[in-house]
């Protein structure tokens, strides 16, 4: 029964019965884990640490959750803040994982940035991954949330705590930077 | 996620406690409180800036520093700095409230500046600018209130500036005045005073431009009421100990003053001959 409850209902239940929070963990662990990998070069250990911290912070601050927002925006915000606070430490580690792209991700990004389709897909995945690595975290965050997590401007605004207009500007700049990086990248032919 | 990670999370949550609701309400309330307080203080700083600017006369400053730079001396830099500081602090506070991030910085800033300006004008109208200026002069050693500063600037009879209280209205062209050091002057109105200038004699405090004739006679070319807009009707002369002549007043350029007097129909030689006739 709890598996079909809405996020907000689970939040209310978790305040009464801590075990109910387990359903929230089940519901978001995969999404957040993938999101963390997409926006940062984190090792498995880092991802586990970040996730643990995110869920504990979410639980401790559960009464501060603004019910006028989607719960997903709120927990993505906590995750983003946690990633940013650990970002410097993580980027210094060259042994960190590149984010793993699925075919679906690639087609989203390829459509958005006109990457030629005839490239070998696994090679292009690596190239796109490397392009995203070249972006500042705030730009990468905007690109990942919009194109890969498929969040709306309003949701991204709530996650990044920036006005929707600023989100649009961030995305525009991120795309410009990404296109520029793509033009300079030897493995990618970019159509202007 | 590895199974033991989820277990760790659940274990940690079992030991953790949710923060109470009031913690978040208080946090949001504190940001709102600081946002409102800093906006109000910004309004007071704007009111005081207006008070300073509308009450500082540039004429004595023009005689010291020249026409083009005199306005720089009346700009209330400290108060304008405080306006910028408090508007910025208010902006930061309001942006940290629950929904503060949803609005664009420029729009919120413009709205904030607009509200602060309206508050500033309202505070100026109810004399809060004057009171802030007075409080600052009493609490900050190097700060001189507008009234004090104007008395300084306008109290240098030898240089051509005299300020004081009318103690006997006398005839149509002359009156008796007591300066801030309690010296009594016989003031003679010369040149072609406009009716509006004569009506200034209805007020008790006046400031004049002219020149000294003899020991205690002052020939006034230009006379204006000494009232503080956005302040009390009468300027209090209670700072006798502060009446020491300022260096800058002592540096008044006599050629500038002579030119001013001539252009205002107060040629010293001509007036002397008129008086002697």
B14: which chain A residues are within 8 Å (Cβ-Cβ)? 18
Number of CB atoms found within 10 A of residue B201's CB: 18
Q: φ and ψ at B165, to 5 degrees? A: -110, 135
Each residue of A121-161: pLDDT tens digit?
A: 544 666 667 778 788 888 888 989 998 888 999 999 999 99
The angle at the Cα of B209, spanning B183 to B233, to the nearest 5 degrees, equals 70
How distant, in Å, are the alpha carbons of A163, A167, B276 from that of A155?
A: 10, 10, 88
Query: Quick one: tokens of A84?
Result: 């940013």
pLDDT-based confidence at residue B142 (cuts at 50, 70, 90): confident
C-alpha dihedral over A29, A30, A31, A37, to 10 degrees? 100
Whether residues A52 and B19 touch (CB distance < 8 A) is answered with: no
* Structure confidence at residue B244 as a pLDDT band (50, 70, 90): low
| Structural contact between residues B161 and B154, judged by C-beta atoms closer than 8 angstroms | yes
Q: Tell me which chain B residue has its CA closest to the CA of residue A64.
A: B24
What is the tens place of the pLDDT at every residue in A68-94? 899 999 999 999 999 988 876 665 555
Interface test with B, best of A12, A16, A18, A158 (most B CBs within 10 A): A18
Using left for φ > 0, alpha for ψ between -120 and 50, and beta otherwise, residue A54 falls in alpha
* CB contacts, 8 Å: B102 with chain A: 157, 163-164
Contact (CB<8Å) B13/A157: no
User: Which residue from B232, B250, B60 is spatially nearest to B163, judged by alpha carbons?
Assistant: B60
Residue A166 has its nearest CB partner, among B6, B12, B104, at B104
Q: List Cα–Cα distances, A154 to A37, A165, A169, in angstroms.
A: 23, 10, 13
Distance (Å, whole) CA A116 – CA A171:
21
Confidence at residue B169, expressed as pLDDT on a 0 to 100 scale = 81
- The 10 Å Cβ neighbour count of residue A16 is 7
Q: What would the pLDDT profile of B172-203 be if each residue is shown by its tens digit?
A: 778 898 888 888 999 988 755 555 555 555 66
- The DSSP H or E segment spanning B166 is strand B161-168
Q: Are strands B184-189 and B205-213 parallel, antiparallel or unpaired?
A: unpaired
Please give the helix or strand (H or E) that residue B212 lies within, else none: strand B205-213
Rg over CA atoms, chain A: 18
CA distance B93 to chain A (A): 14
pLDDT digits (tens, 9 = 90+) for B85-100: 999 999 999 889 988 9
DSSP notation for B114-142? HHHHHHHHHHHHTTHHHHHHHHHHHHSTT
Cβ atoms of residues B64 and B252 within 8 Å: yes
Substitution target in A19, A48, A157 with the highest count of B β-carbons within 10 Å is A48
Which member of B1, B23, B101 has the closest CB to residue A48?
B1
Widest pairwise Cα distance in chain A: 56
Number of other residues whose CB lies within 10 A of the CB of residue B273: 10
pLDDT for res A112: 61
């Amino acid at each position: 029964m709890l598996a079909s409850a809405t996020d907000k209902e689970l939040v209310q239940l978790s305040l009464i019965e801590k075990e109910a929070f387990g359903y929230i963990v089940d519901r978001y662990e995969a999404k957040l884990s993938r999101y963390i990998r997409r926006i940062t070069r984190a090792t498995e250990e880092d991802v586990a640490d970040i996730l643990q911290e995110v869920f504990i912070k979410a639980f401790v601050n559960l009464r501060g959750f603004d019910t006028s927002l989607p719960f997903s925006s709120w927990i993505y915000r906590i995750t983003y803040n946690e990633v940013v606070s650990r970002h410097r430490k993580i980027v210094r580690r060259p042994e960190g994982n590149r984010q793993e792209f699925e075919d679906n991700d690639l087609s989203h990004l390829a459509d958005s940035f006109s990457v030629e389709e005839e490239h070998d897909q696994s090679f292009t995945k690596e190239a796109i991954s490397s392009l995203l690595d070249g972006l500042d975290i705030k730009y990468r965050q905007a690109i990942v949330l919009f194109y890969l997590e498929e969040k709306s401007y309003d949701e991204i605004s709530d996650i990044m705590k920036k006005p929707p207009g600023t989100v649009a500007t961030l995305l525009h700049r991120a795309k410009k930077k990404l296109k520029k990086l793509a033009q300079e990248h030897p493995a990618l032919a970019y159509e202007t | 996620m590895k199974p033991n990670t989820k277990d760790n999370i659940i274990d940690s949550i079992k030991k953790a406690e949710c923060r109470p609701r009031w913690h978040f309400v208080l946090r949001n309330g504190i940001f709102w409180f600081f946002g409102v307080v800093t906006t109000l203080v910004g309004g007071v700083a704007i009111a005081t800036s207006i008070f300073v600017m509308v009450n500082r006369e540039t004429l004595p400053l023009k005689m010291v520093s020249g026409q083009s730079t005199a306005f720089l001396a009346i700009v209330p830099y400290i108060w304008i700095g405080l306006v910028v500081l408090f508007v910025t602090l208010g902006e930061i506070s309001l942006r940290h409230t629950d929904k503060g991030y949803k609005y664009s910085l420029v729009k919120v800033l413009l709205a904030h500046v607009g509200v602060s300006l309206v508050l500033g004008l309202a505070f100026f109208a109810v004399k809060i600018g004057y009171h802030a200026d007075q409080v600052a002069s009493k609490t900050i050693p190097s700060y001189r209130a507008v009234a004090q500063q104007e008395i300084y600037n306008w109290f240098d009879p030898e240089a051509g500036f005299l300020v004081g209280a009318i103690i006997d209205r006398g005839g149509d062209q002359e009156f008796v005045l007591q300066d801030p050091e309690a010296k009594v002057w016989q003031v003679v109105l010369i040149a072609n005073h406009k009716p509006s200038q004569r009506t200034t004699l209805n007020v008790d405090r006046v400031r004049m431009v002219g020149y000294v004739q003899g020991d205690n006679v002052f020939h006034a070319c230009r006379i204006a009421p000494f009232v503080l807009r956005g302040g009390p009707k009468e300027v209090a002369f209670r700072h006798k100990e502060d009446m020491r002549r300022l260096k800058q007043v002592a540096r008044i350029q006599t050629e500038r003053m002579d030119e001013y007097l001539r252009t205002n129909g107060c040629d010293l030689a001509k007036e002397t001959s008129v008086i002697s006739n």
